[in-house]
Amino acid sequence: MKKMIIKGGQKLSGEVTIGGAKNSTVALIPAAILADTPVKFDSVPDILDVHNLMLILKKMNVVSNYSHGELEIDPTQIKNVPLPGGAIRSLRASYYFMGALLGKFGKALVGFPGGDNIGPRPIDQHIKGFRALGAIVEERDDAVSIYTSAAGLHGARIFFDIVSVGATINVLLAAVKAKGTTIIENAAKEPEIIDLATFLNNMGAQIRGAGTDIIRIKGVSNLKAQNTHTIIPDRIEAGTYLSFAAANGEGVLVKNVITEHLEPFIAKLIEMGVYLEVNEDSIYVEGGHNLTPVTIKTAPFPGFATDLQQPITPLLLKANGCSRVIDTLYPERIKHIPELKKMGVKINSQNWVISINHSANLIGASVEASEIRAGVSLLGVGLMAKGTTIINHADNILRGYERIVDKLAGLSVKIKLVDEATVSTDQ
C-alpha cells in the first residue's frame, strides 16, 4: 500500500487535462470480451482498476496490452473459467463480467464483487434481469453461478424497481447477443451507459435509447470492432479538480470536459458564488470568496452525482454558513467524516444528512483513505490545511484518479507518494 504526504498551504494554478472516464472504462473492458475480433480503446485512464481488470482478462486467456492511454484487448482465444476471489474482490465493477460472460457463453461463475465500502449495493436487479432473459442464477460458495438451458438467452421486457447503473449495464451486456428484442424500462441514463452503447453499436450491436429510461436491444450474432473507441472524459475527475480549484486556487483551466455531463455540479458552484468561465470543452475557475452555503441532494443522472458529494467537501467548508449533503443513493457514504474531523473540519452526519460548517482552522493529520472519493476529499483538505497531512491507504485514491501526483504537479502542487513503510513525515 501507498501513502500520500501533503504539505498544506499550496494553491492550485495552471491547467489540467481530464482523462477517460473510470466508470466507462470499467464497463468497456468486460464488454470487450463480447467481440469476435481484437478491440482497441484510447483515452484509457492509467488507474489501478484498469490493471486489475487486465489481470482478470489474463485468467480467461485474453491478451491485453496497455501503453500511454491505449488499451488493446484480444478476446479471440478466450476461455470461460470461474472467476472467484482475487482481483474480483478488489473492485466492484468486476461484476460486469457476469453479464459479459453470460452474453458470450451463456454461463458465468463470478465471485461476489468487492470495491469501495460505501454501504449496501445489492445485485438483486441484476439477477432479476438475468432471469428475465432466461438464465438460472444460483449462489455457490460466495460466488454467483449463472447459466442457461440449451435454448439460450432470449429477449424480454424488464422493468427495474430502482434506477441502477450496474444493473442497466449488466443486463445490456447479457442481452446484446440474445435472441429477439430486450426492452429495459426505468433504465439508468448516465453518460457512461451511452458510451458503452456507442462502443457496442459500432461493432454491430443494435441498441437504441441509451441515455433515456427505455433501452431497446435487438440481439445480434456477431460483434466486430472496426475502429478504436475513444472513451469519454471523466466527469468525476473534472468535478474534483473544479472543486479543489474553487476552494483553493488562483486560476485553473480544466480541459477535455463535456460540460453537459457536469450541469448539476456547475449549477451548485454558481449557486455558491464561484466564478466560472464555461467553454465548449473546458472550464476556467478562480478561487471563490464570500461563498454561499448550499444544499446538495444526490440523484441518478442527470442529477448531482453521488461520486461528487465527497470531492466537493473542501469547497463547502469555505462557505459562510452550513451546507448540507443528502446522498439518496448511498446514505452510508460517510467514511470521510471522522477523518476530516481529525483535520479540524466542522462536519457531522445525523439522520443521513451531512452538515458541513465553515472551517477556517484546518490542520494536517494522519488520516486514512477508506475508498476512492473519501480519500480524494482528504487530499483536497490537506492542501488547504496548516502543516503536513499523511493519507494512508492512498492506493484507494489511485484506483480512480490517474496520474494524480503528476497532474497536481502541473497545477503547481507538490505531493509525495511513498510506501506505507516509510515513517518520516518531514518530506
Number of folded domains that form the chain: 2
Within-domain flag for 14:
yes
Within-domain flag for 427:
no
pLDDT of residue 121: 55
CB neighbour burial string for 162-171, b if at least 16 within 10 angstroms, e if fewer = ebbbbbbbbb
Residues 240 and 373 in one domain: yes
Contacts of residue 123, Cβ cutoff 8 Å, sequence gap at least 6 = 95, 144, 166, 167
Kindly state the percentage of the chain with pLDDT values over 90: 88
Residues β-bridged to residue 17: 255
Question: Is the separation of the CB atoms in 175 and 217 below 8 Å?
Answer: yes
Residues 88 and 201 in one domain: yes
For residue 370, the one-letter residue type is S
Q: Diameter of the chain by CA atoms?
A: 66
pLDDT at position 416 over 70: yes
Within-domain flag for 425:
no
Given 195, 223, 251, which residue is the final one in a domain? 223
pTM to 2 decimal places: 0.94
- Rounded Cα distance between 336 and 322, Å, is 18
Sole residue written with cell 478488489: 90
Within-domain flag for 228:
no
Active site residue 141: no
Residues 95 and 239 in one domain: no
Residues 268 and 383 in one domain: yes
Question: Is the separation of the CB atoms in 156 and 133 below 8 Å?
Answer: yes
Kindly state the DSSP code that residue 190 receives in the 8-state scheme: -
Residues 9 and 27 in one domain: no
Q: Give the strand pairing for 63-67 and 70-74.
A: antiparallel
Expressed as residue numbers, the domain containing 323 is 2-19+233-419
Residues 170 and 267 in one domain: no
Sole residue written with cell 483538505: 381
Residues 195 and 264 in one domain: no
Residues 257 and 338 in one domain: yes
pLDDT of residue 422: 65
Question: Is the separation of the CB atoms in 197 and 229 below 8 Å?
Answer: no
Name the E strands within 170-304: 181-185, 206-208, 214-218, 229-230, 249-255, 276-278, 282-285, 295-297
**Positive/negative CA dihedral, 414, 420, 422, 426:** positive
pLDDT at position 33 over 80: yes
Cα torsion at 208, 30, 92, 183 (round to 10°)?
A: 20
- Rounded Cα distance between 255 and 222, Å, is 37
Within-domain flag for 60:
yes
Closest CA relative to residue 310, chosen from 336, 344, 328: 336
pLDDT at position 425 over 50: no
- Given the residues 46, 49, 74, 116, select the one marked as catalytic: 116
- CATH number reported for the structural domain that contains residue 139 in this entry: 3.65.10.10
Within-domain flag for 426:
no
pLDDT of residue 288: 80
pLDDT of residue 160: 97
φ, ψ for residue 302 (rounded to 5)? -95, 25
Residues 204 and 271 in one domain: no
Within-domain flag for 424:
no
Q: What is the mean pLDDT of the chain?
A: 94
Residues 277 and 193 in one domain: no
What element of type H or E holds 108? strand 107-111
Given 200, 223, 246, which residue is the final one in a domain? 223
Q: Give the strand pairing for 415-419 and 2-7.
A: antiparallel
pLDDT (tens digit per residue) in 277-308: 999 999 999 988 899 999 999 999 999 999 99
pLDDT of residue 114: 55
Residues 245 and 198 in one domain: no
Within-domain flag for 177:
yes
pLDDT at position 363 over 90: yes
pLDDT of residue 380: 98
Residues 200 and 58 in one domain: yes
pLDDT of residue 424: 47
pLDDT (tens digit per residue) in 81-128: 998 765 566 566 788 999 999 999 999 999 876 544 444 457 899 999
Given 176, 199, 223, which residue is the final one in a domain? 223
